[in-house]
Chains A and B, each alone.
Chain A
Amino acid sequence: MTTDDPPTDDGVQPTDDGVQPTDTSTADAETPDALPSPGSETSTTWLGAVGGWVLFALVLAAAPVLTQGSYRPGPETRLPATIADVVLAVVGLAIAYHALRAYARNDDRSILLFGGGLFLLTTVQAFLDLTVVTLQTTFGVVSLLLGGIGFSLPFGLVFAGVGELVDILGLVAVFYALLK
């Protein structure tokens, strides 16, 4: 342990030789972060795999827009909006990753709800935006496709509705996490 190590959760500074001055049997119970819980390595591997697949899907969703030079409609904002969505999705993924790791360590459901809510508010929203942009870029007027199956609402309106529902779900999850 180096001198740069942060203090433990109970505020006790480690000694120079790295030995905690407190009783180790109580320290384990009070500082769950100090030792990995059983199966945490598996959880981390699993989380890494899921995160990798999500990132892969993100790249797939954004690729058609990022690789094209001009878009319709609003070509001047399409590219920066897509880049902003990718950044938002990645930051949201980082939050969700930290929350899931904390859940794996502490087994606290409120942390899971907190991370899930923020994941919905950031990454899922970015995915929705990217999906709209990608479908519009690839297929043009997508409402025609939906009209073919008897659903004549404008395409953007449907995704706006889904986005609002996702936002409400995320906020309810965060709110519930705060209550617990």
Chain B
Amino acid sequence: MTPLASVAEFAAASTAVPLQPVVGQVGESLTERVFLYALFAAFVVSVLLGLFVSVRVLRGYRESGERRLLLFGVGVLCIVFFSKTTNFLLASALGLGTGYAELIATGWRILGALLVVNAIYDTGDPP
């Protein structure tokens, strides 16, 4: 029995009725469900945060025209936003195997990291 389920059962025994149906319905998977909701919330937070950072950097690029900022902004976009949404869409929505989805997500991260490396080496001069 999971710790959370035993806590719920103890609470149900203490309060007699209200929690009993919950324990009966969810049982062992209560921890998993709670964890999944927390995981999804963390996913949404990180995607939004990544988007926010990218938009902020790209706005800086629009104001200053510095190519480094463009590379860095798109890099962060690839590392966080594209990798996570691709992983989620392919694995959850389209039902592609988790292995393939994670492989594509890692590909996005590599692309983003290479763009950031390019931003570090970029001198701003035209090629």
Interface residues of A (CB under 8 A from B): 6, 73-74, 76-78, 80-81, 84-85, 87-88, 91-92, 94-95, 98, 118, 121-122, 125-126, 129, 150, 152-154, 157, 160-161, 164-165, 167-168, 171-172, 174-175, 178
A70 to chain B minimum Cβ distance, whole angstroms, is 14
A-B contact count (CB 8 A): 98
Tell me which of B35, B46, B52, B84 contacts A153 (CB under 8 A): B35
Interface residues of B (CB under 8 A from A): 2-3, 28, 31-32, 35-36, 38-39, 42-43, 45-46, 49-50, 52-53, 56-57, 76, 79-80, 84, 97-100, 102-103, 106-107, 109-110, 113-114, 116-117, 120, 123
B117 lies within 8 A of A94 (CB): yes
User: Is chain B's interface secondary structure helix, strand, loop, or mixed overall?
Assistant: helix
CB-CB < 8 A to A6: which residues of B?
Answer: 123
User: Is chain A's interface secondary structure helix, strand, loop, or mixed overall?
Assistant: helix
CB-CB < 8 A to B31: which residues of A?
Answer: 152-153
CB-CB < 8 A to A150: which residues of B?
Answer: 3
A134 to chain B minimum Cβ distance, whole angstroms, is 15
